[in-house]
Chains A and B, each alone.
Chain A
């Protein structure tokens, strides 16, 4: 029956449209409800959480959990560490990748093809976890800030995005600049970089998100005073680290839940807040990257 109706309306049947919109609403809910739940938990009183009254909105609004994590010195330390790794890591990464990608975008440069092959090969075969760890430790980087920043500065995927971007800039621009007496460093800084802000924003964002979200390398390379916030969160959630007055009052579990939720929220906040403004860059990068490198 809906088949006949679909034919009558010719272009799109109502059932078809309904299915489409229902699915889209489910997707929207799936992407937002978990966050609403965490927000609600973090702002609810421990009593309400314990009685199981909290679902999507805070019950007995309370900022107790936030008061506790802000009074907890390790939280700020970890947050500061994460900011340090993200800012330094992204800066070093961008400088190195620009300096690498520009020469690699010159196909007439001898050796360019070979280096590109090395880059691509290293995407599919790498030293495993242990050789990497042993390299970092024999360089004396374990237990230092550098272990979190240096090994990840060149990401092959982002590098290829940048190389392709530089290739797409018309050669004539550079030739004109060379006739005017600019050398390659000058061309890169004065001509290419101003044209590449979108590409740089894209790979800069990917890099920053990587550094912000990283926890595993903190786990194997660092000791606790250098832990990034994601590792602290992981330790709080799996019970390795206790926060606040968890040992004090009788409603231990419920305080812990509110505190966990508050840590989840505060550690993701920068990404959630910045995301809407930056998402067009993210998507652009995905599409450039999908074009073969």
Chain B
């Protein structure tokens, strides 16, 4: 019906004219957004060549002369970078191990709530933290844990006579606090995908299990969990793909010189090198950013490939 059945290429001049007549408006429509998109997403991507070039102030974002892999050799020997790399991997794998199963368990339990009004209420409240600014989350945390006025220190002191601890400043508590706040913010939200998968299960499966004498708990273990396994796999692989990208803004908010031995991650290191060191080492910081960006890209693509091979579902 449409004049351009030939998707592969337009052959005759008249067909081309017809195609242009038909579609020029669509091209015109996306012209501004496309240029805009290229400007703000792709120019910075090419800006990564700064990693191989020396930067000079006021000469534009692409640097002035080639230096090859000098900055890469520099940071690979830089103890600060190695610590940041180690901290990133440690924190995000701990976060993955703990916070990956939690939304699944939450979704399974929530699905067992029979009272629909109560279920709705829990859902509504559990999604909300996702929309609260990280600044607010960390501010609340700081207040709750404050050594002078925070409720936690007060309770521990009253109940067990413990001395107040400045939790936000202690390296020992940083990872736990990061993981707990992540759990608080994202459990409900991440559970949505699993809840949708559970709702999509064919009711006949449960019917059959019931006839075979399975109780509710057994239905969960022998019907629900196996059926949502593909979703779980896809989500897991995705999470592994994003192993290097932590909640940078949250870490930056929680970062103090006192806890820096565990809270300095790659992104905060890049931030400090670029914006806080006296020299504004833009090229050096760009090189580190590019390095972790490339590792991230490799992780995501291999995760996606694996997902397609294993479950037939690729996310991108």
Task: Report the separation of the CA atoms of residues A41 and B146 in the bound assembly, to the nearest whole angstrom.
Answer: 13
Contact A108 B48 (CB under 8 A): no
User: How far, in Å, is A167 (CB) from chain B's closest CB?
Assistant: 14
Specify which chain A residues have a CB less than 8 angstroms from the CB of B124 in the assembled complex: 276, 279
Contact A130 B50 (CB under 8 A): yes
How many residue-residue contacts, CB under 8 A, span A and B?
A: 272
**Contact of A230 with B216 at beta-carbon distance under 8 Å, contacts A20-B112, A100-B34, A126-B44 already known:** no
**Contact of A267 with B193 at beta-carbon distance under 8 Å, contacts A16-B112, A184-B25 already known:** no
Chain-A contact segment, one of B75-83, B86-94, B170-178, B270-278? B270-278
Specify which chain B residues have a CB less than 8 angstroms from the CB of A271 in the assembled complex: 131-132
Interface presence of B239 (CB below 8 A):
no
**Contact of A268 with B113 at beta-carbon distance under 8 Å, contacts A253-B148, A254-B149 already known:** no
Contact B26 A37 (CB under 8 A): no
By beta carbon, the residue of chain B nearest A120 is B316
Interface presence of A153 (CB below 8 A):
yes
**Contact of A268 with B44 at beta-carbon distance under 8 Å, contacts A13-B215, A109-B23, A185-B25 already known:** no
Contact A292 B143 (CB under 8 A): no
Task: Report the separation of the CA atoms of residues A156 and B210 in the bound assembly, to the nearest whole angstrom.
Answer: 45
What 1/0 mask marks residues of chain B from 124 to 149 whose CB sits below 8 Å from any chain A CB? 11111101111110111011101011
Task: Report the separation of the CA atoms of residues A219 and B113 in the bound assembly, to the nearest whole angstrom.
Answer: 44
Specify which chain B residues have a CB less than 8 angstroms from the CB of A7 in the assembled complex: 213, 215
Contact B192 A287 (CB under 8 A): yes
Task: Report the separation of the CA atoms of residues A110 and B267 in the bound assembly, to the nearest whole angstrom.
Answer: 39
**Contact of A292 with B313 at beta-carbon distance under 8 Å, contacts A128-B286, A129-B285, A230-B133 already known:** yes
Chain-A contact segment, one of B222-230, B257-265, B290-298? B290-298
Interface residues in A, total, Cβ within 8 A: 99
**What does DSSP make chain A's interface, helix, strand, loop or mixed?**
helix
Interface presence of B47 (CB below 8 A):
yes
Contact A27 B25 (CB under 8 A): no
Specify which chain B residues have a CB less than 8 angstroms from the CB of A65 in the assembled complex: none
Interface presence of A249 (CB below 8 A):
no
Partner pick for A282 among B4, B61, B127, B252, CB 8 A cutoff: B127
Interface presence of A85 (CB below 8 A):
no
Contact B45 A125 (CB under 8 A): yes
Specify which chain A residues have a CB less than 8 angstroms from the CB of B292 in the assembled complex: 128
Contact B26 A31 (CB under 8 A): no
Contact A287 B196 (CB under 8 A): yes
What 1/0 mask marks residues of chain A from 8 to 23 whose CB sits below 8 Å from any chain B CB? 0111110011011101
Contact A122 B42 (CB under 8 A): yes
Contact B47 A132 (CB under 8 A): yes
Interface presence of B106 (CB below 8 A):
yes
Specify which chain B residues have a CB less than 8 angstroms from the CB of A212 in the assembled complex: 133
Specify which chain B residues have a CB less than 8 angstroms from the CB of A96 in the assembled complex: 32-33, 36
Task: Report the separation of the CA atoms of residues A13 and B125 in the bound assembly, to the nearest whole angstrom.
Answer: 27
Contact B151 A216 (CB under 8 A): no
Task: List residues of A (102-161) whose CB comes within 8 Å of B's CBs.
Answer: 102-104, 106, 108-110, 115, 118-120, 122-135, 137-138, 150-151, 153-154, 156
- The chain B residues found within 8 Å of chain A, CB to CB, are 2, 4, 7, 10, 19, 23, 25-27, 29-30, 32-34, 36-48, 50, 60-61, 106, 109-110, 112-113, 118, 121-122, 124-129, 131-136, 138-140, 142-144, 146, 148-149, 151, 154, 184, 187-189, 192-193, 196, 210, 213, 215-217, 249, 252-253, 267, 270-271, 274-275, 282, 285-286, 289-290, 292-294, 296-297, 300-301, 313-316
Closest 4 CB pairs of A and B: A127-B44, A128-B289, A131-B47, A134-B61
